[in-house]
Amino acid sequence: MGEGIEARFRLPLGDFALEVALELPGRGVSALFGHSGSGKTTLLRCIAGLERAPQARLVVNGECWQDSARGIFLPTHRREIGYVFQEASLFPHLSVRRNLEFGERRIAVAARRVSLPQACALLGIEHLLERMPDGLSGGERQRVAIARALLTSPRLLLMDEPMAALDAARKAEILPYLERLHDELEIPLLYVSHSIEEVVRLADHLVLLADGRVMAHGELRAMLARLDLPIAFAEDAGVVVDAVVAGHDEAYHLTRLAFPGGEVVVTRQPAEAGRRLRFRIHARDVSLADHRVEGSSIVNLLPVTITEIVGADSPAHVLVGMDAGGTPLVARITRRSCDQLVVRPGRRMWAQIKSVALLG
């Protein structure tokens, strides 16, 4: 059996049913994204075995954890998962160290791939070990909970909106640690979220859920460039691009980021050449020109081929999908500009990018 996660669940849930059939990659971060009530947390709980769907099949990297047709149901404590709940739920009667050891002590020594010092260093919690959970901030508690989950050396990490209960400052405190996990972890991570900001920073793969069903799923960049999905109509719609630091212009304090199809220039980044950086281009920050505009303060110009034009959320605007030599882009322009410039699929034009949001 190959790598990957095969998940099929049918579970009646009051006024709707969770009905999901998914194939997810065996590594990287897959975001389960949807409004509250879309069934994303229930799906995660089904995968963890905390909810028992009457019709289900779950195979994780070749191991069958659940198959209702064959009467297989591995209880939660026998599934090699790490689960991070929305609120940290540390055991209040145990110190941070004992909390961390709780799961670690319950797996065979030979199966331990993560050590306590490693997990503590990864989450920056070395100094908290002897404290009790009540004395920690919300962000610290959540970092301990993540480290505790990692210490069971899971084959699959599940996170249920781990930052939903935190304020913006605490979120900003945790995000870098989650990004580090993304870079260093070799196991798949399923991340439930209703925040597109978190998703674009962390995810490689995006599953869109609505009313208990999978509306669409696929690679994050491709999904964000799709104009037939509701996320394209959100106010902050846009694409993400994974780029590599190509070099710096010390005189002007700028950094060049290269990606398939071109380069953009941003303000000087502390990252060394070769480092991977992800950035986001909001559709509203992209405009189109029928020739290469010289004498403009906009420095980031990319030759593109128009692929698609659809109506936007407002009658005055359209969304224009385009391909910049392998990297999909989306622009939100007025319908009038679209007509005046004769924007149509297949036409080669220039995209002007007013700003780029770096995602760390």
Residues of this chain that bind another protein (CB under 8 A)? 48-50, 75-78, 81-83, 85, 89, 91-93, 102-103, 106-107, 148-149, 152
Token pair of 282, please? 């909001």
Select 125 or 329, whichever has its Cβ closest to another protein: 125
- SS3 assignment, position 29: strand
d(Cα 109, Cα 106) in Å, to the nearest integer?
9
Residue 98: CB partners within 8 Å, gap ≥ 6?
91
User: Shortest distance, CB of residue 76 to another protein, whole angstroms?
Assistant: 4
User: Shortest distance, CB of residue 50 to another protein, whole angstroms?
Assistant: 6
User: Shortest distance, CB of residue 140 to another protein, whole angstroms?
Assistant: 17
Tell me the sheet residues that pair with 191: 31, 159
User: Shortest distance, CB of residue 229 to another protein, whole angstroms?
Assistant: 32
Alpha helices in 134-278 (DSSP H): 138-150, 168-184, 196-202, 220-224
Tell me the sheet residues that pair with 245: 257
Select 90 or 257, whichever has its Cβ closest to another protein: 90
Select 158 or 199, whichever has its Cβ closest to another protein: 158
d(Cα 241, Cα 238) in Å, to the nearest integer?
10
Sign of torsion over alpha carbons 208, 26, 226, 352: positive
Select 155 or 280, whichever has its Cβ closest to another protein: 155
Token pair of 231, please? 């996320």
Select 102 or 233, whichever has its Cβ closest to another protein: 102
User: Shortest distance, CB of residue 74 to another protein, whole angstroms?
Assistant: 11
Residue 315: CB partners within 8 Å, gap ≥ 6?
335
User: Shortest distance, CB of residue 202 to another protein, whole angstroms?
Assistant: 21
